[in-house]
Structure 1
Amino acid sequence: MKQLLLLLVLINMVPAVFGQGQLAKVTISGATVERVEKTLAADAMRGRALTTNAAEAARFLAAEFKRLGLKPWPGQSSFGQTFLVYETRTVRVRAVLNKVPVAPENVLLLAGQPQLRWTSGQPNAPRVVRVGPAVDFLQEVRPLLEAKENLLILLDPAHAVRFRAQALRFNQNGRFGIDQPSPTAVVMVLLPAALPEALTFQVEGTTRIRELEAQNVVGVLPGQDKARAAEQILFSAHYDHLGIQPAVAGDSIANGANDDASGTTAVVALAEFFARQKNNVRTLVFIAFTGEEIGSLGAQHFARQLPDAKQVVADFNLEMIGRTAGSGPGTAFITGFEKSDFGTILQRNLRGTPFRFEPDPYPSLNLFYQADNATLARLGIPAHTISSAQLPTDQLYHSVDDEVQTLDLANMCAIIEAVARSAGSLISGQDTPTRILTDTAPTR
């Protein structure tokens, strides 16, 4: 604790440059960080899932943005950016191949229509696709899942592990999207053995489809220089989490204190700091995304509202900064470090301070593609996630034990202050990160 207190003192001794050469001491309110974090991660928020209490969290965040004097997103009268989410869940599915019933656990139905009944040889019969043992499962199957046609996919037994992982994911969580479901269906069958080319089939299924209202929370701090105010710097995090989970020792609420109440708290704390400065040349946009845990849906919707993605200079996406990084206190990492010079600029702006940003230490996890930043990066925006998570060893990740008492709030404040300081030359218009090549940011 003494080391962390010394770290915060040293960071605050180093001035940062904002606006037109003005000096500003970077001080993030520890009281704000603690209050916002505890509110978002409280049991009363019921895990902030779209189907539990995300709306209450959104109201709280909107009140914070109003308190800070931020403006709504252009064209909106409130801080809430509301949109529809479509949830589809399989109620039942039954498949018979060559007059032999298929075990239920070997059939997966992904449908955008309430009912289906297919019989081989009939006019409405689907196209049959066979996936052999030697092909790459993800490369072959992923495009098929996005197809807007009826498909019956027959998988060789060699793909059993991948199939069961997909089936578990979809059957437990359902499917969510911001586009109205296509009135088509994909049925995937894991074959018990190789089938002859001659094939008869009967498939029946029922799907429940419902609409949910979702809401990003977006606040804007207009740029002070009219000539540069159209240029935007984003600070983002997702406020949703997993809601109610199977009980462990009597606790069923996935509070998500680190994932990602910590990042959302940082967005509020940064908004508070920059709103006090009143000297940002470029416009600052503070975003609390919803729907990250079910496919970055909030980020997708926000991206569609951008009138010109080229005006977005950068996105600081804050994800899981509540615990100490594997490299120790006073450090955090940046995903996709090599994809733009965003990280290099931030490192340069922290020279002379005891804090340091490092490249992502877990490249095999492809973290750049696993967070909301990836949606914006696909538009060419230098959108990177800043995190201190130790994902390979974090036993609290996506558990009901991700609670406030497991966080290091002093180190979290140090990370937020480092973000504020390192953003200085971008906010003042002195630096502009290189764009991300859009073909290097595949779908999540």
Structure 2
Amino acid sequence: MKKFYVSVIILLTGIYVSAQKIDRIITVKKVSKIEKNLSDDDMEGRAVFTPGIDRAASYIAKEFKKAGLQAPPSSTGFFQEFTMVEAKQTNASGTIDGNNIESSNIIAFTSKETVQVTQDSGYENVKINAGDKLFNAAYGYIMSGKNYVVWVDTTHSKNFPSLLRLKRESFRSDRSVLFVLTDKDPVDYSFFIRHRIKEKNLKNVVGILPGKKDEYVIFSGHFDHLGIGKPDAKGDSIFNGANDDAAGITAVIMLAKYFKKVNNNERTLVFAAFTAEESGGFGSQYFSKQFEPDKVAAMFNIEMIGTESKWGANSAYITGYEKTDMGKILERNLEGSAFKFYPDPYPEQQLFYRSDNATLARYGVPAHTISTSKMDSEPYYHTPGDEFSTLDMKNMTAIIKAIALSSSTIISGEDTPSRVDTKQLR
């Protein structure tokens, strides 16, 4: 019995000491300073390929260095650089069973300057039939990573040109997908398509806090936003993205500072600020491919935590809560505190698949997004009104502390969340 009381006293003392330490490291004042800098007008809304996002990247890298993080081996400093390809189709020609086909009836998705395809090229033939959902089916083929010739039924003639809306920057690949509008079942065919290729350079910002184990726990958010756009009623044209997602990056920086000062992580911690989330999640896709999924124990993606959740202060939700037991681990580590994690209250919006956690989750990693955003009633979402003045900094600071404390047993290796069942992912 005496040993029991001693153990309890030691446990409570440890919790008290941790609480005291975290209250000194993660403060409203420090959180507010970082958030203000990231969402300042000087960052010009942090749109990709602008000086504003470069300034934001440099600021984050500086904070990672001040925190005492290490740069990844394959990076330039703290910058994880990669290239995207913009391909603009300039001309197309083709024949089906000896008959010429209109160039407007051919749309290719590729990162190659020229694509020449015949029935002997090894491309898989598939069809989008009348009654199929054109854009859903097309997107699936584009994202498949395979070579396809997709025959599109002529009942989709009206919407066929709108497939061009799906053309966006992409990673350089040797794969191509051709969409051809036809009412035939072709036997012999030949197509030639030319694109004007433009390469664009992007960069994530990544810092490492080495642990004793060759296993990783990732804390992440995205630092890009929408840039400068149409002025609102007040004449403001800068989409500052204070909540979306300067708030998440502020949390990542503060967590880096906290865990470095605590300095007792068994697992290696990775702190990542992703680019190009708003334009397709390209930053997190590239980042995720740099890891062996089996070595990633958990991912805490943090997005839009600057406002109160639907349950009020001291609460947040976890997307994909039911897909692993990670949420239960976090809740258990917060027992006795005022903070509460909840399952995602907006399942119809498929948030689990829409943020930067999605790529690693599809590999089976317990990768979840933590948020407070009221997706049915956030007045400043994707508007110039998403500014520092609209955020609840006291509550945001409490959320960052809750993430730090609730993740403790995962970081120590005491807990390992269950994996996502990839067979159940759509």
Q: TM-score, normalised by structure 2?
A: 0.82
Report if aligned partners of 1:99, 1:200 keep a CA contact under 8 Å in 2.
no
Change over 3 Å in CA distance of 1:349–1:183 after alignment to 2? closer
Matched residue type, 1:66: K
CA distance in 2, matches of 1:92, 1:329: 56
The question of 1:84 aligning with 2:49 is answered no
**Aligned to 1:352, what secondary structure does the other structure show?**
coil
CA distance in 2, matches of 1:197, 1:309: 41
CA distance in 2, matches of 1:287, 1:16: 32
- Deviation for aligned residue 1:384: 0.6
Q: Greater shift after overlay, 268-277 or 357-366?
A: 268-277
In structure 1, the gaps of 5 or more residues are: 1-13
- Deviation for aligned residue 1:314: 0.9
Which residue does the alignment assign to 1:61? 60
**Aligned to 1:81, what secondary structure does the other structure show?**
strand
CA distance in 1, matches of 2:177, 2:93: 14
Change over 3 Å in CA distance of 1:281–1:148 after alignment to 2? closer
**Aligned to 1:207, what secondary structure does the other structure show?**
strand
Q: What is the root-mean-square deviation of aligned Cα atoms in Å? A: 3.6
Deviation track 1:361-408 (CA, whole Å, cap 9, x = no partner) reads 011111111111111112322111000111233343223332222222
**Aligned to 2:419, what secondary structure does the other structure show?**
coil
**Aligned to 2:370, what secondary structure does the other structure show?**
strand
Which residue does the alignment assign to 1:210? 198
**Aligned to 1:301, what secondary structure does the other structure show?**
helix
Match of 1:365 among 326, 349, 359: 349
- Deviation for aligned residue 1:74: 3.9
Which residue does the alignment assign to 2:284? 299
Deviation track 1:329-373 (CA, whole Å, cap 9, x = no partner) reads 221100111111100011111111111100000111111111111
Change over 3 Å in CA distance of 1:116–1:421 after alignment to 2? closer
- Deviation for aligned residue 1:234: 1.2
Q: Which has the higher contact order (CA 8 A, sep 6+)?
A: 1
Report if aligned partners of 2:249, 2:273 keep a CA contact under 8 Å in 1.
yes
Deviation track 1:418-444 (CA, whole Å, cap 9, x = no partner) reads 1111112222222111122233345xx
Matched residue type, 2:60: L
Matched residue type, 1:175: E
Match of 1:310 among 286, 294, 300: 294
Which residue does the alignment assign to 1:410? 394
Report if aligned partners of 2:310, 2:374 keep a CA contact under 8 Å in 1.
yes
**Aligned to 2:271, what secondary structure does the other structure show?**
strand
Task: Count residues with an aligned counterpart.
Answer: 408
Q: Greater shift after overlay, 59-68 or 389-398?
A: 389-398
Matched residue type, 1:338: E
Deviation track 1:6-65 (CA, whole Å, cap 9, x = no partner) reads xxxxxxxx97958xx964433222222212212212222222222113222111111001
Aligned pairs for 1:155-194 (under 5 A) are 155-157=153-155, 166-170=163-167, 174-177=168-171, 180-182=172-174, 184=176, 186-187=178-179, 189=181
Matched residue type, 1:142: Y
Which residue does the alignment assign to 1:6? none
**Aligned to 1:284, what secondary structure does the other structure show?**
strand
Which residue does the alignment assign to 2:70? 71
Which residue does the alignment assign to 2:223? 239
Report if aligned partners of 1:52, 1:244 keep a CA contact under 8 Å in 2.
no
Change over 3 Å in CA distance of 1:304–1:201 after alignment to 2? closer
The question of 1:39 aligning with 2:26 is answered no
Q: TM-score, normalised by structure 1?
A: 0.79
Which residue does the alignment assign to 1:5? none
Change over 3 Å in CA distance of 1:17–1:436 after alignment to 2? farther
Aligned pairs for 1:243-322 (under 5 A) are 243-249=227-233, 250-306=235-291, 308-322=292-306
Which residue does the alignment assign to 1:394? 378
The question of 1:49 aligning with 2:33 is answered no
Match of 2:416 among 432, 435, 438: 432
Q: Greater shift after overlay, 279-288 or 145-154?
A: 145-154
Report if aligned partners of 2:119, 2:190 keep a CA contact under 8 Å in 1.
no
Report if aligned partners of 2:302, 2:370 keep a CA contact under 8 Å in 1.
yes
Change over 3 Å in CA distance of 1:221–1:206 after alignment to 2? same
**Aligned to 2:35, what secondary structure does the other structure show?**
helix
Change over 3 Å in CA distance of 1:373–1:151 after alignment to 2? same
CA distance in 2, matches of 1:101, 1:60: 51
Report if aligned partners of 1:280, 1:428 keep a CA contact under 8 Å in 2.
yes
- Deviation for aligned residue 1:205: 6.5
Aligned pairs for 1:315-354 (under 5 A) are 315-354=299-338
Report if aligned partners of 1:17, 1:425 keep a CA contact under 8 Å in 2.
no
Change over 3 Å in CA distance of 1:242–1:285 after alignment to 2? same
The question of 1:131 aligning with 2:128 is answered yes
Deviation track 1:90-144 (CA, whole Å, cap 9, x = no partner) reads 5677999999979x7x9855343446799xx9999x9986522233546643343
Change over 3 Å in CA distance of 1:231–1:404 after alignment to 2? same
